[in-house]
């Protein structure tokens, strides 16, 4: 079963690669190179997380702790770099991030089938939101906060994630169609909210990125904001909602 799931991931990445080819072919060489580096690094990250979940869940649990700690450090660093401006906003952001992190920590301890399902939903939504947004996006959602987010990208990523979830959920999760929808749509909403909140924090402190520690990405939160928030929803769902 794991082999089948991994083959599906490879197919999705191949489709995403085709999308990035059409996106980058009209861009200058430097911009295209950066985009491909981001794509390849993301592929490596997906593989690390996928195999940590499926082969050794303890490693995945450890990685969730690393991601949480890195997130707190990145938020604090931007606050300090601003000479401690917007203290109330920073405290509120830390409270929100703590809420997500607490449940994300619990998510890391879920049965591996449940963690994997949610991880796949988030990854597919995140990837195809970018691809469909760059290929077809015109109408901005929140241009002052996240200028690259479009309604077309959100719709494209959500549709593909929902279809994929229903193809995969029967393998791992028992439940009715409404329950599957609650899990999937909740995951997408939380993942999108996590992305937007991270962008809002950067805009508040007038920074484009948290840092450049991950090649092609703007820091740990830039890469894992959707996973933290979406994973938090999965923890809430399986702990309090799922029958």
Average per-residue pLDDT in the chain?
90
**Per-residue pLDDT reduced to its tens digit, 11-49:** 888 888 888 788 888 788 887 888 888 889 999 999 999
Which residues neighbour 115 within 8 Å (Cβ) at sequence distance 6 or greater? 53, 57, 60, 107, 108, 231, 234
CA 53 from centroid of its chain's CA atoms:
16
pLDDT digits 0-9 by tens, 194-231 = 999 999 999 999 998 899 888 878 889 999 999 999 99
List pLDDT tens digits, range 48-58: 999 999 998 99
Considering only residues 141 and 12, tell me which one the structure prediction assigns the higher pLDDT: 141
Burial of 5 (0-12, 13-18, 19+ CB in 10 A): middle
Q: What is this structure's pTM?
A: 0.93
Domain locations along the chain: 2-82+111-241
Q: Do 112 and 50 contact (CB within 8 A), yes or no?
A: no
């Amino acid at each position: 079963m794991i082999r089948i799931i991994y083959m599906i991931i490879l197919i999705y990445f191949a489709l995403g690669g085709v999308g990035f080819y059409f996106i980058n072919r009209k861009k200058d060489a430097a911009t295209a190179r950066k985009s491909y580096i981001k794509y390849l690094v993301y592929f490596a990250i997906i593989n690390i997380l996928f195999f940590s979940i499926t082969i050794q869940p303890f490693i995945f649990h450890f990685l969730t702790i690393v991601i949480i700690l890195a997130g707190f450090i990145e938020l604090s660093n931007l606050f300090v770099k601003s000479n401690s401006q917007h203290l109330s906003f920073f405290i509120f952001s830390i409270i929100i991030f703590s809420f997500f992190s607490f449940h994300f920590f619990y998510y890391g301890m879920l049965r591996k089938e449940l963690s994997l399902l949610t991880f796949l939903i988030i990854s597919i939504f995140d990837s195809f939101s970018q691809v469909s947004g760059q290929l077809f996006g015109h109408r901005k959602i929140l241009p002052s906060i996240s200028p690259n987010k479009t309604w077309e990208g959100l719709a494209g990523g959500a549709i593909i994630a929902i279809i994929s979830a229903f193809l995969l959920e029967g393998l791992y999760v028992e439940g009715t169609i409404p329950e599957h929808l609650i899990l999937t749509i909740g995951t997408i909403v939380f993942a999108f909210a996590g992305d937007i909140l991270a962008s809002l924090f950067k805009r508040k402190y007038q920074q484009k990125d948290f840092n450049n520690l991950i090649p092609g990405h703007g820091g740990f939160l830039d890469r894992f904001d959707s996973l933290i928030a979406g994973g938090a929803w999965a923890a809430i769902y399986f702990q309090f909602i799922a029958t």
